[in-house]
Structure 1
Amino acid sequence: GTPLIGFDELYSAFSPLGLTFSDKVIDLTGEKVRIRGFMAPPLKAESDFFVLTAIPMALCPFCSTDTDWPDNIVVVYLDRSQTFVQPNRTIEVTGRLDRGSWVDPETGFVSQLRLRDARYRTV
C-alpha cells in the first residue's frame, strides 16, 4: 500500500541553519504517501490547498519565511475541491510528496514540504 509518514518522521535534524529532511522523506520524494493530521483553518472557504498540522490549530499557521517554518505542518494541494472539515477532526491525506523551499505564485506562501494531487478523508 501507500506508505504512511508520521509528523515525527519528516525531519532528522534541527539546527540554526534550518531543518534537515529525514531519509524517509528523501527516499519518498515524488512518491505517493499518506500523512495523518489536522486541517488548519483555511484562508478562504473555496480553496484548492490547506495546511495539515500535527495538532489541532485555532489560527492559520502562516509564516513570513521558511526559516520560521514550523516542523509540524505540511501544505496540501488538492487534485479537486473538497469540502473542508472541522479543525479538530483527524484526517488522512494521500498525495505525491514534494520537498524543498517553494513559493506558491498565487499566494506567496513559502513551504518546505507539500503533498500534491492530494485528497483526504476523515479517520
Structure 2
Amino acid sequence: MRQAFTRRQVLGALAALPALFPSYRAAAAETLGFGELYKSFGVLGLEFSDKVKRLSGKDVTVKGFMAPPLKAEANFFVLTEIPMSLCPFCSSDADWPDNILVVYLARKQTFVQYNAPIEARGVLEYGSWTDPETGFVSQLRLREAAFNTV
C-alpha cells in the first residue's frame, strides 16, 4: 500500500535539503553600481575602483538599461547607466565611457526595449579587451551572464 505524505512532511524535507547538500547553495551575487566602477580620472585616464578589482572573477549583479543591440541574434549587449537610443560601442580604450559595461550572455535571451530597467548578473572582468569576433573594445565585462527586467 502506498503511503501519502502530509504537506508538512514534504515542506520539512525540502527545507532540510540545503543542509544536506551545502555545496549546491546558490551564492548571492554582490551588487555593483555604475558609481562604483571607477575611483578617479588619473593621468592615464579612468582608474578602476578597489571594489571592481576585488570583485573581478566573481559573480555580480548590475542594474541598468540595455543599449540597442547591433543585431537581433547577438549573444552580447551593452548595459548602460541611463537609457540610450544609440549603441555606445567604442573603437579604442580612450573612447570608453565611464557608465557602460558589456554583457556576454551564457545563452541567448530575447532583448528588451532600451528604456526598460534590467538587472544583469554574471562574472565580472576588467581591463582592456578586444572581442576577436567583432573587433569591439571593452574595459568592463560580465561573462556567462543573464538578465531579467526589474
TM-score, L = length of structure 2:
0.81
Q: Describe the superposition over 1:3-34 as per-residue Cα deviations: whole angstroms up to 9, x where unpaired.
A: 10000000001134111000000000000000
What RMSD over aligned residues (CA atoms) do the two structures have, in Å?
A: 0.7
1:33 to 60, 64, 78: 60
State the one-letter code of the partner of 1:37. Answer: G
User: What is the SS of the residue equivalent to 1:111?
Assistant: strand
Unmatched segments (≥5 aa) in structure 1: none
Partner of 1:4: 31
Shift of 1:93: 0.3
C-alpha deviations, 1:62-81, integer Å up to 9, x for none?
21211110000000000000
Which residue number corresponds to residue 107 of structure 1?
134
Q: Which amino acid aligns with 1:11?
A: Y
Q: Relative contact order: is structure 1 or structure 2 higher (C-alpha 8 Å, sep ≥ 6)?
A: 1
Q: Give the structure with the higher percent helix.
A: 2
Query: Which has more strand, going by share of residues?
Result: 1
Rg larger for: 2
Runs of 5+ unmatched residues, structure 2: 1-27
Q: Equivalents in 2 of 1:18, 1:96: separation in Å? A: 24
Name the residue aligned to 2:10. none
Which structure 1 residue ranges, 4+ long, deviate > 4 Å from structure 2?
A: none
